[in-house]
Structure 1
Amino acid sequence: MKSLLFRLAGTFSAEIGSELYLKLKEETLSPSLFCLDFSEVEEVTEVGWEFLRKITERCKETGSKVAGFGWKGSLTENLPLGFHFFPTESECIHYLESQILSETPANELTPKSEEKTVHCPECQSLLRWKLAGDYLCPQCKTKFFVNKKGWVSTYERLL
């Protein structure tokens, strides 16, 4: 499960709200955790509250979780149902992590049989992989290693 922290600043209005919504929509193709930092937000407009409602609904639909922290103003009746605000970042993160129902670490929640993708470290071709191990890029013939978390390590070449 992916987790992302978004640090917001200024006025949370249509511009920031729509940009954030599009980014979260892109990231919620699989369940994710989203922590929104409002500590530098001066104002949330009516349209901003509407985008928070849309973000909360999108997260519910996809099994993702979203919460915020650091809002210095008073929380109004505009607060979307299911959206939680916390005074500190650590409380927000603790809440989001408590929403993971499995004992498996967040970066290992993908089913073992699911096929995953990585980019070749040399030519950036998109390649599929199932298990950790050594791989050879069919395009550029670069050898590399993929660990169980999907991290790619290249091998040094001796000249």
Structure 2
Amino acid sequence: MKSLLFRLAGNFSAEIGSELYLKLKEETLSPSLFCLDFTEVTEVTEVGWEFLKKMAERCKETGSKVAGFGLQFETTSDQNSILTFFAEEAECIHHLESFYIGDTPANELSPKTAQEGKTIHCPECQTLLRFKQMGDHLCPNCQSKFFVNQKGWVSTYERLL
């Protein structure tokens, strides 16, 4: 089971919602865990809430899980029922990882020996990659940039057009 962390910023409206939904739809071909970081989001529009609802429904259909954290403003009870929100990133990740049965983080395969390091899949092209430490990485196959945290969660860097 793979896991992705999406860091969002600005107004979560139709534009961002549709792009995120398409990415999530692409990634839910197999069950996955999705963590949405709302700490830099200033507003979620009505259309944005509809896209979050579509994402939650898609995850339910495919056996995937999605949760968010860091929402800086009050929500209504209808909006709270769409997605599970947490105050802190650690709480959100812990909640999502509770759905994964195993000893290793969701996006990480167990290494055969300590010298080999840990393995992850590139979030863009799904190439199997080895890494030794957390931090910024560049896929040698597709040149996409991403960040890997200590637990093996992958966070992609979005390109601005």
Do 2:52 and 2:82's aligned partners in 1 also have CA atoms closer than 8 Å? no
CA deviation vs aligned residue, 1:49-101 (integer Å, no higher than 9, x gap): 0000000000001110000000010121342635200000000000000111x
Residue of structure 2 equivalent to 1:92: 92
Give aligned pairs, total: 117
What TM-score do the two structures reach when normalised by structure 1?
Answer: 0.66
Q: How far apart, CA to CA, are the structure 1 residues paired with 2:54 and 2:95?
A: 21
Question: RMSD across aligned C-alpha pairs, in angstroms?
Answer: 2.5
1:14 corresponds to = 14
Aligned-residue identity in percent: 66
| Residues 34 and 148 of structure 1: CA distance in aligned 2, closer, same or farther (over 3 Å) | closer
Q: Deviations over 1:103-148 (max 9, x none)?
A: 2533459xxxxxxxxxxxxxxxxxxxxxx9xxxxxxxxxxxxxx99
Higher RCO structure (Cα 8 Å, ≥6 apart): 2
Establish whether residue 5 from structure 1 lines up as the match of residue 12 from structure 2. Answer: no
Distance in 2 between residues matched to 1:20 and 1:87, nearest whole Å: 21
Cα offset, 1:38, TM superposition:
0.3
Determine if contact 1:65/1:96 at 8 Å carries over to the other structure.
yes
- Could you list the runs of 5+ residues in structure 2 that have no partner in the other structure? 113-117, 121-127, 131-161
SS of aligned partner of 1:3: strand
> What TM-score, normalized to structure 2?
0.65
What are the residue-to-residue correspondences of 1:65-76 with 2, within 5 Å?
Answer: 65-76=65-76
The aligned residue for residue 36 of structure 1 is: 36
Which structure 1 segments of 5+ residues have no match?
A: 110-131, 133-146, 153-159
Larger Rg: 1
1:73, 1:80 → 2: CA distance? 12
Does the 8 Å contact 1:53/1:80 carry over to 2?
no
